[in-house]
Structure 1
Amino acid sequence: MTTMKEIAQQTGVSVSTVSLVMNHHDEGRVKAEVASRVRETARRLGYKVNPMARSLRTNSTRILGFISDEVATTPYAGGMILGAQSAASQLGYMLITVSTDGGMKEDDEIEALKRYGADGFLYAEMSNRVTDVPEKLRDYPVVLTDATDRNGAIPSVEPDEFSIAYDATTHLVQAGCRRIAYIGCSRPMIAQDGRLAGYRAAMEEAGKRYDENLVVNVLEPKSALQAVSDMFDREQPDGFFCFNDARAWYVYECAARRGLTIGKDISVVGVDNHRVFAETLYPQLTTVELPHFEMGFWAAAKLVSIIEDRPLDDFVWPKTTAPMPPIDAPIPAKIHCTLLEKGSVARR
């Protein structure tokens, strides 16, 4: 196994210099070109940090805890966890994930992660909402993922809900749609407020008067389908921006019942890029992809920057579908999501 002493001998520096570089404490202490040479030599020799030895030396385990009450029940959790794990691994940390159901169990899981010596925590929701960080996490570095701290004090990352709707609605306008409806969510949410505002702004910018008759906020499937059906007959929209891909199904169903063809007579844009809806509906649904991988990755990187009190200037960010904000972005950090063009929007 390669040692720091071997790296020091090959680069012509002291073991203490190698230690500073490999433990990310070189900024302002080691010249940049020397640090780069040390890292390259360590990579070439296959040097691996001994986490047990380092934890004893630094009183840091380099473990991050990922906490959510929906990890096991949502199709999006995997992307978020993968993003967080990728960033953690790249920065020399291990990610431990726990799923909770709130209340005492959540407290128990947090205590278990503390016993493992977690240096900090990611607290994740699976749909963008205002949340309260558990009291047991208050004395630790914490970053919220797909959520906003009620008091606005804890770093967080979320999709740019306004731009999701603005981009989707603008896409429909540019496709030649004249009467564009919004199928929203009747549950109070950050996402609903932001998407309704983005839809309204895009309509007004295009010179189309905001018409509340073209907005239907729905939740329960049976009544939702009826509400969308009534709008079809009453307002005869030719374009639909839907709060999510699931709600786009109502539009497909109503169009089919009336002998209308999606992507020809009716244009539809959803949100999520949900595998079940976005890939099985025909024609395939044009949709705005939510940045679950990007949120997880950014949150983990932000958490490490807080733990180590450094800006991660030397960190290599991956190429992702949606560009990630800078590590020092204002709270909450917002990710501009990407619209994926498929076959559900007609071009006139």
Structure 2
Amino acid sequence: MTTMKEIAEKTGVSVSSVSLVLNGRDAGRVKPDIAKKVRQVADRMGYKPNPLARSLRTSHTRILGFISEEIATTPFAGGIILGAQDAASALGYMLITVNTDRRSDEDEQIAALKRYGVDGFLYAKMSNRVTDVPNSLEGYPTVLVDATDRAGRVPSVTPDEVNIGYDGTKRLIDAGCKRIAYVGCSDPMVAQSLRFQGYRRALEQAGLPYDDDLVVNVLFHKPAQDAVDRLITEQRPDGVFCFNDARALYVYQSALKLDLTIGRDLSVVGVDNHRLIAETVVPELTTVELPHYEMGYWATRKVIAMIEGRDRLKPSELAQTTSPMPPLDGPLETQVHCALVEKDSVASR
């Protein structure tokens, strides 16, 4: 393993100067041309900082704790965790992920992460909800992922739910649809009310009348299919915006029963970009992709900014993401605008 002493010998400067440069404390202390030479030699020699030694010097371990009560058992967890890991790795941090099943277990897991000396926490939920941040996280840099803090104190990142509804409905309007139905969720979810709000906003801006008969909120299985069948049979919409891709399946089934062709007689837009649905149905489903990777990536960058006392991202630090990355110095409750993924379920004008 390459040492600072070896780099000092190679560059002809003191070990203390090498230490200042490699620890990012050279500004005003080491001449820029010398600092540049030290970094080039360190890169060429494959120098890797010793995290244990650095933690002893700085009182930081560069370890982050990622906590969720259910994220490890959901199909979209991988995107959030991958985004968090990529952001952590890019800045020299390590991520420890734990899954909890109840509050007592959660407190035990948080206590265990504290014993590892974590510098900060990511506290994740699924399905965008308002939550209470555990008291045991108080005093630590913490960011909520796919949730907002009921007390309004902890930074959070969630999908821009209103614009999900707006963009999905606007796509149908742009395709020439005039009678656009909404197939929503009957659970009292944050996403349901906000996506419905976006649906109504798009209709209003396009000068299309809102019709209560074109709205149905369902859960699952036969009752859901029966409700959607009645909607399509009795109201004959020419476009349907669905709360998620799973509910779009009911629309596909209804269209099949009525001998309607999706993408010609009836246009459909879903939400999730659930690969097993959106790319399996025929025709493939146009859908709004939820920003799981982006939320994990942004939340990790945010908590590191809180730890290190900086609130901006350099252009070189931005990941290539489907949805644009919000600034770190934005509002306490940050939202990510979601991308519309075009496929074949919307008619051409």
TM-score range, shorter chain: over 0.9
Q: Equivalents in 1 of 2:47, 2:188: separation in Å?
A: 51
* Cα-to-partner distance string for 1:70-116 (whole Å, 9 max, x where unaligned): 13211111111011001101111000000111221111111111111
Name the counterpart of 2:217: 217
Q: Structure 1 residue 163 and structure 2 residue 202: aligned?
A: no
Name the counterpart of 1:292: 292
Name the counterpart of 2:122: 122
Matches within 5 A, 1:256-295: 256-295=256-295
**Are the equivalent residues in 1 in contact too, given 2:178–2:239 (CA < 8 A)?**
yes
- Secondary structure of the residue aligned to 1:250 is helix
Q: Structure 1 residue 141 and structure 2 residue 141: aligned?
A: yes
Name the counterpart of 1:104: 104
Between Structure 1 and Structure 2, how many residues are aligned?
A: 348
Matches within 5 A, 1:306-317: 306-314=306-314, 316-317=317-318
Change (3 A) 1:50 1:196: same
Change (3 A) 1:11 1:227: farther
CA shift, 1:53, in A, is 1.3
Unpaired runs of at least 5, structure 1: none
Change (3 A) 1:173 1:116: same
Change (3 A) 1:312 1:7: farther
Change (3 A) 1:242 1:30: farther
Moved more, 19-28 or 217-226: 19-28
Q: Equivalents in 2 of 1:82, 1:235: separation in Å?
A: 43
Name the counterpart of 1:324: 325
Change (3 A) 1:154 1:320: same
Change (3 A) 1:44 1:233: same
- Secondary structure of the residue aligned to 1:88 is helix
Pairwise CA RMSD: 2.1
CA shift, 1:25, in A, is 5.0
CA shift, 1:13, in A, is 5.9
Q: Equivalents in 1 of 2:63, 2:309: separation in Å?
A: 16
- Secondary structure of the residue aligned to 1:273 is coil
- Secondary structure of the residue aligned to 1:327 is coil
Name the counterpart of 1:343: 344
* Cα-to-partner distance string for 1:107-160 (whole Å, 9 max, x where unaligned): 111111111111110000121111111111112110011111112211111111
CA shift, 1:307, in A, is 0.7
CA shift, 1:6, in A, is 4.1
Name the counterpart of 2:42: 42
* Cα-to-partner distance string for 1:207-253 (whole Å, 9 max, x where unaligned): 10122221111123322111111111221101011111001001001
Change (3 A) 1:35 1:253: farther
Percent of aligned pairs with the same amino acid: 64
Q: Equivalents in 1 of 2:270, 2:33: separation in Å?
A: 49
Matches within 5 A, 1:232-247: 232-247=232-247
CA shift, 1:36, in A, is 5.8
- Secondary structure of the residue aligned to 1:72 is helix
Change (3 A) 1:224 1:11: farther
- Secondary structure of the residue aligned to 1:256 is helix
Q: What residue identity is the alignment partner of 1:205?
A: Q
CA shift, 1:29, in A, is 6.8
Unpaired runs of at least 5, structure 2: none
- Secondary structure of the residue aligned to 1:261 is coil
Q: Equivalents in 1 of 2:219, 2:285: separation in Å?
A: 20
Change (3 A) 1:120 1:147: same
CA shift, 1:275, in A, is 1.5
Q: What residue identity is the alignment partner of 1:87?
A: A
